[in-house]
Amino acid sequence: MTVTAQRFREFKMPDVGEGLTEAEILKWYVAPGDTVTDGQVVCEVETAKAAVELPIPFDGVVHEVRFPEGTTVDVGQVIIAVDTMPGSGGADQPPAAEPAPASAGQVEPAAEAEPEQRPQRQAVLVGYGPRTGTAKRRQRKPQVPSAAPSANGASASVPAPAPAAVPAPAPAPASVPAPASGPAPASAPGPKPLAKPPVRKLAKDLGVDLATVRPTGPGGIVTREDVHAAVAATAEPAAGAVTPAATAPTDVAPTGATPTGPETAAGAPGWAARETRVPIKGVRKATAQAMVASAFTAPHVTEFVTVDVTRTMKLVRELKEDPDLSGLRINPLLLVAKAFLIAIRRHPEVNAAWDEAAQEIVHKSYVNLGIAAATPRGLIVPNIKDAGAKTLPELASALAELVSTARDGRTAPADMQGGTVTITNVGVFGVDTGTPILNPGESAILAFGQIRKQPWVHKGKVVPRDVTTLALSFDHRLVDGELGSKVLADVAAVLERPRRLTTWG
């Protein structure tokens, strides 16, 4: 018995950040039958904060990969099973007895429909586990012909519901009532739909019969999106001006198929073929939530200043030729960052945070400088820890490493936590300035615009000079207008006369 318990080991999706609840599997590096060793990277996942490689903590041969690439998996779910004793013989092949505690929101495939059958049935995680023949997955393509007129108007991701789902009087036949009714054995159409308890509650609250919803989750699990899609599929035809059953027979897609006809949910021909739907997840989802929370929590104020940075650009060229700085990436952003840090040192009250729960303002004696980075997976803001204590060469090295790691998608979650202020370089996109939104929990964000030649009054004459515009957004709960203005003016003053990097620094 001990050998059986230890032979198959399961690796669960870990919490690779602080408080993250799910991650998307981007790529598998192993397949069933491959040999793995302790510490070997088996897959790459993307959380709401970054892409992370997951090492497996034991040796063996991959027995099963539970989820395909592109699947979003909850933290705590088993993603791979490994045979740690390959070749030890085997009647104990199926490893799915270990995930028996289906406490992570999973449900048993047929717990209510057949209580009196096979007492030896094992509870397993949804979508995989021992296939004993008593709890086979329900056939997802109903055998009853037609009777799904409400399928027209469904979006590309919402298939035609199962029979008798949409007509208002007929949800009862397809639902799964309590098994205490008279013809109990009549539950033969199949096990109850696979769904987590929160999804079941959502369906109940919305009046959706799960038996009529086509699942898109791994292993045939009904997801929240499936439930909302089912609601939309029934609501849109009723709200629109089109008559579903009589006027658009071509809209009714075959059972289990996706509507591809000329009519769309809006009743306009051909629109669906010209629309692409992208699931909101990963970095994009986290960014959206953070920006909404920031925009509607912190009262933003943005101030602007246009500054002559001709001397700063000259200093950049000189530093690039300095042999003491060879190998380092010297650019205008580096000097803007240094100027911002000097301004914060001169006005430390700006480096603070608002603690709503404790009703306190937290002043910070360190500066974790965030740099907004555009990556293929979306916008992220890693930060340089203790940036205010770094010398110019140290800051240049840290900035180059931060940008390179972000572009490669290898930024660790810890590198995106604890930021205090941020710089966003919109100038690289040819933009003069903007009104940036604060990174949640931070007090200020500086937008650095494009540097361009402009006519400028210099020593009493109008001459072409290198000019840029800076914009500083700050949390008005923490930073008064006077303080914000002084910080922005100091940044501009350093960039206008960069010798202040030494006299003020």
In tens, the pLDDT along 357-371 reads 899 999 999 999 999
Question: Measured at the alpha carbon of residue 55, what is the angle toward residues 51 and 59, in degrees to the nearest 5?
Answer: 160
In tens, the pLDDT along 325-360 reads 999 999 999 999 999 999 999 999 999 999 988 999
Q: Which two three-digit tokens encode residue 480?
A: 């008064």
| 453, pLDDT greater than 70 | yes
User: Averaged over 65-90, what is the pLDDT?
Assistant: 86
Residue 397: per-residue pLDDT: 95
Per residue, the 3-state secondary structure of 72-122, as one string, reads EEECCCEEEEEECCCCCCCCCCCCCCCCCCCCCCCCCCCCCCCCCCCCCCC
Residue 92: per-residue pLDDT: 52
Residue 451: per-residue pLDDT: 97
Predicted confidence band at 90 (pLDDT cuts at 50, 70, 90)? Answer: low
Predicted confidence band at 194 (pLDDT cuts at 50, 70, 90)? Answer: confident
**Cα–Cα distance between 212 and 227 in angstroms, integer?**
10
* Residues across the chain: 505
In tens, the pLDDT along 361-399 reads 999 999 999 999 888 777 889 999 999 999 999 999 999
Please, which residues bridge with residue 303 across strands? Answer: 472
Cβ–Cβ under 8 Å, residues 185 and 197? no
Residue 456: per-residue pLDDT: 96
Residue 276: per-residue pLDDT: 86
**Domains of the chain listed by start with CATH number:** 2-83 (2.40.50.100), 149-180+187-274 (no CATH), 283-503 (3.30.559.10)
Query: Measured over all CA atoms, what is the biggest interatomic distance in the chain, rounded to whole angstroms?
Result: 99
Query: Would you tell me how many other CB atoms lie within 10 Å of the CB of residue 69?
Result: 12
SS3 content of the chain, % helix, strand, coil (to 5): 30, 20, 50
Specify the pairing of strand 461-475 against strand 300-308: antiparallel
The rounded Cα 274 to chain-centroid distance in angstroms is: 25
Predicted confidence band at 191 (pLDDT cuts at 50, 70, 90)? Answer: low
Cβ–Cβ under 8 Å, residues 96 and 124? yes
Q: Output Rg (C-alpha) for the chain, integer angstroms.
A: 30
Residue 273: per-residue pLDDT: 81
Predicted confidence band at 137 (pLDDT cuts at 50, 70, 90)? Answer: very low
Stronger pLDDT, 182 or 273, i.e. the higher one: 273
Q: Which two three-digit tokens encode residue 35?
A: 């040999």
**Cα–Cα distance between 487 and 482 in angstroms, integer?**
9
Residue 81: per-residue pLDDT: 92
Q: What percent of the chain has pLDDT over 90?
A: 42
Q: What is the DSSP letter of 209?
A: -
Stronger pLDDT, 480 or 140, i.e. the higher one: 480
Q: What is the DSSP letter of 14?
A: P
User: Averaged over 85-99, what is the pLDDT?
Assistant: 57
Measure Cα distances from 459 to 445, 456, 462, 463, 465 in Å: 32, 10, 8, 9, 12
Residue 270: per-residue pLDDT: 67
User: Averaged over 169-174, what is the pLDDT?
Assistant: 45
**Cα–Cα distance between 409 and 283 in angstroms, integer?**
11
Please, which residues bridge with residue 472 across strands? Answer: 303, 446
**Cα–Cα distance between 244 and 239 in angstroms, integer?**
11
Measure Cα distances from 111 to 104, 105, 216 in Å: 17, 15, 22
Stronger pLDDT, 34 or 51, i.e. the higher one: 34
Query: Would you tell me how many other CB atoms lie within 10 Å of the CB of residue 200?
Result: 17
Residue 201: per-residue pLDDT: 74
| 22, pLDDT greater than 70 | yes
Residue 430: per-residue pLDDT: 94
Crossing angle (nearest 10°) for helices 332-346 and 392-407 = 120
pTM recorded for the entire structure: 0.55
What residues act catalytically?
476
In tens, the pLDDT along 299-323 reads 999 999 999 999 999 999 999 999 9
The alpha-helical segments, DSSP class H, found in 248-355 are: 282-295, 310-320, 332-346
Does residue 369 sit in helix, strand or coil?
strand
| 242, pLDDT greater than 70 | no
Residue 17: per-residue pLDDT: 63
Q: Comparing 93-97, 402-406, 417-421, which segment has the lowest mean pLDDT?
A: 93-97
**Cα–Cα distance between 279 and 299 in angstroms, integer?**
30
Crossing angle (nearest 10°) for helices 332-346 and 310-320 = 120
Query: Which has the closest alpha carbon to 447: 462, 460, 429, 459?
Result: 429
* Whole-number average pLDDT of the chain: 77
All residues at 6 or more sequence positions from 393 whose CB lies less than 8 Å from its CB, including other chains: 324, 325, 328
Predicted confidence band at 181 (pLDDT cuts at 50, 70, 90)? Answer: very low
Phi, psi (5° rounding) for residue 375? -120, 165
Spell 47-61 as b/e; 16+ CB within 10 A means b: bbbbbbebebeeebb
Stronger pLDDT, 133 or 82, i.e. the higher one: 82
In the chain, how many H helices and how many E strands? 10, 21
Stronger pLDDT, 289 or 20, i.e. the higher one: 289
